[in-house]
């Protein structure tokens, strides 16, 4: 009898302690980016006018990685480089795929997704690709601003 009571007490203790091991619940700030917001960003880039995108990017010294070159040190560099790159396109359609993951904790949101690229260059070449896209947002003065972005294309 004593052995059974001891086993039951040990089990109850073990289950009680395991409840403390749960992950803390993440705090989600209101209006955090969702898949529709991510697509809105891709639609902005599809317009071929990077100046329209400045409103979404923090203007400070943050690194942004695009297909080429290696990196941009701030939004001004990124906008200038993207403007030159996009001059080579007549049409561009970027679509966020269904694999998008969005994680928010407080005033930070980080997202990962693949993006379908369907473009037509000024030389008449039709381009189809699947890109990798990672974005980090920070909520600043009530608005979600991009403070880091990384876009890449797998080597094939």
Domain architecture of the chain: domains with CATH: 27-152 (3.10.450.50)
Mean pLDDT of the chain: 87
SS3 per residue for the chain = CHHHHHHHHHHHHHHHHHHHHCCCCCCECCCCCCHHHHHHHHHHHHCCCHHHHHHHECCCCCCEECCCCCCECCHHHHHHHHHHHHCCEEEEEEEECCCCEEEEEECEEEEEEEEEEEEEECCCCEEEEEEEEEEEEEEECCEEEEEEEEEECCCC
Task: Give the pLDDT confidence score for residue 110 in this predicted structure.
Answer: 98
Taking the C-alpha atoms of 128, 85, 76 and 110 in order, what is their torsion angle to the nearest 10 degrees? 10
Mean pLDDT of 64-86: 92
Given a cut of 80, whether residue 152 has pLDDT beyond it is: yes
For the entire predicted model, the pTM comes to 0.80
Chain CA centroid to CA 131, Å: 12
Given a cut of 60, whether residue 7 has pLDDT beyond it is: no
Give how far Cα 60 sits from Cα of 31, 109, 146, Å: 23, 18, 10
């Amino acid at each position: 009898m004593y052995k059974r009571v001891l086993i039951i007490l040990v089990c109850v203790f073990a289950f009680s302690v395991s409840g403390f091991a749960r992950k803390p619940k993440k705090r989600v700030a209101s209006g955090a980016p969702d898949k529709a917001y991510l697509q809105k960003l891709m639609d902005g880039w599809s317009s071929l006018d990077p100046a329209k995108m400045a409103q979404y990017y923090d203007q400070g010294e943050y690194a942004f990685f695009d297909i080429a070159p290696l990196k941009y040190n701030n939004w001004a560099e990124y906008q200038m480089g993207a403007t030159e790159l996009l001059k080579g396109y007549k049409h561009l359609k970027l679509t966020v795929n269904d694999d998008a993951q969005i994680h928010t904790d407080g005033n930070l949101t980080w997202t990962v997704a693949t993006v379908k690229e369907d473009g037509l260059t000024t030389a008449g070449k039709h381009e189809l690709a699947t890109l990798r896209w990672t974005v980090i947002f920070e909520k600043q003065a009530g608005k979600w601003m991009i403070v880091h972005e990384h876009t890449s294309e797998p080597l094939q």
